[in-house]
Amino acid sequence: MVIEYFQIRKFKKEFKKLKKKYKTLDTDLENVKRFAIEMFHIQNINNNSCFRIPGFKSYHCEIYKIKKFACKALKGRGKNSGIRIIYAYFPEKKQVHFIEIYFKGNKENEDKERIEEFIKEYCEND
């Protein structure tokens, strides 16, 4: 079973900006899809990369944060690169929507308002 991936507009903008600084981000994101998201949601293997974010109510989607994101451009840091990804997982549809990407050194936590907006727009209308 394969997961279908989407990116909201704000995620695309943040990704593009970070990619200027971290050139390997495209490949790194593909690796996260295979070795974190799909392992966790499809193969039920928990490698402690994906963490559910509590407090967001929706019957259709679950909100997760990826804390262990290996970025090859950040040499020597391995999976502790400090890059965080916030995504919504739709179990019934096997879909992932990327909501936010940021570097922890620039921003401590996820944008809770953006997550709430996403849930209102994408999760509650099904």
Query: Tens of pLDDT along 38-69?
Result: 999 999 999 899 999 998 878 789 999 998 88
Spatial separation of the C-alpha atoms in residues 38 and 33, rounded to whole Å: 6
| pTM for this prediction | 0.91
Tell me the two tokens of residue 44: 């039920």
Which distant-in-sequence residues (6+ apart) come within 8 Å of 119 by Cβ? 56, 57, 58, 61, 63, 88
User: How far, CA to CA in Å, does 33 sit from each of 42, 45, 58, 112?
Assistant: 11, 13, 23, 23
pLDDT tens, position by position, 64-119: 999 888 788 776 554 556 789 999 999 999 999 999 999 887 787 899 999 999 99
pLDDT of residue 79: 56
**Tokens linked to 98:** 């990327």
How would residue 19 be classed by pLDDT, with cut points 50, 70 and 90? very high
What tokens were used for 21?
């600084």
CB of 70 within 8 A of CB of 31? Answer: yes
